[in-house]
């Protein structure tokens, strides 16, 4: 899907997020110990998602108060809640819930919310968002977790 250049870094993060979901599901499918998958989820949460959610909320979702932006913020909170739950004993159920919620959230942002925001923000606002994102965003979106349990 064509994306405005100002928010492409967030879409690239989404690709990494979908890969995270796949890795979690591969681990579950292979019956890998839940604690190994848990370690990965917590790594991915802290390394990628906390900052990504902050960038989205500060640069995009808090600019316009409407149901779609509110849905995205609510989904961020739901994911935070499941990540908090996973800091305790991990089960295939809560790990799968995290993967399902994350994938659903990413698909919503990419298919519904981002296209919507691209139509309601004027070009000048999108340019400003892109400049601000460039200052905040890490250019190295890599997933370098050591335990490749999904292989």
44-55 pLDDT, tens per residue? Answer: 999 999 999 999
**Domain range enclosing 132:** 5-136
The pTM (predicted TM-score) of the whole model is 0.95
pLDDT of res. 2: 85
Q: Does a structural domain hold residue 64?
A: yes
Name the pLDDT band for 142 (thresholds 50, 70, 90): confident
Q: For residue range 47-86, list pLDDT tens digits in order.
A: 999 999 999 999 999 999 999 999 999 999 999 999 999 9
In a domain, 147, yes or no: no
pLDDT value at residue 140: 62
| pLDDT at residue number 139 | 62
Q: How far is CA 85 from CA 89, 93, 98, 114, 124, in A?
A: 8, 11, 10, 29, 41
Q: Does residue 149 fall inside a structural domain?
A: no
Token readout for 138 is 């890490």
Helices (H), the chain: 8-29, 34-44, 50-56, 67-86, 92-108, 114-120, 123-136
Residues with Cβ within 8 Å of residue 35, at least 6 apart in sequence = 90
**Within a domain: 142:** no
Q: Is 59 inside a domain boundary?
A: yes
Convert the pLDDT of each residue in 89-141 to its tens digit: 999 999 999 999 999 999 999 999 999 999 999 999 999 999 999 998 876 66
Q: Say how many domains are in the chain.
A: 1
Burial of 41 (0-12, 13-18, 19+ CB in 10 A): buried
- Mean pLDDT score, 14-22: 97
């Amino acid at each position: 899907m064509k994306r405005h250049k100002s928010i492409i870094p967030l879409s690239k993060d989404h690709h990494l997020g979908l890969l995270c979901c796949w890795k979690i599901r591969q681990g579950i499918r292979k019956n890998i110990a839940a604690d190994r998958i848990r370690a990965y989820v917590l790594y991915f949460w802290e390394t990628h998602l906390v900052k990504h959610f902050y960038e989205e909320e500060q640069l995009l979702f808090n600019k316009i108060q409407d149901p779609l932006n509110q849905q995205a913020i609510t989904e961020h909170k739901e994911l935070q809640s499941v990540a908090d739950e996973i800091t305790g004993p991990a089960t295939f159920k809560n790990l799968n819930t995290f993967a399902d919620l994350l994938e659903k959230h990413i698909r919503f942002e990419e298919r519904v919310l981002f296209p919507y925001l691209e139509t309601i923000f004027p070009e000048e606002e999108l340019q400003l968002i892109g400049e601000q994102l460039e200052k905040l965003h890490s250019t190295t979106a890599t997933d370098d977790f050591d335990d490749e349990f999904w292989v």
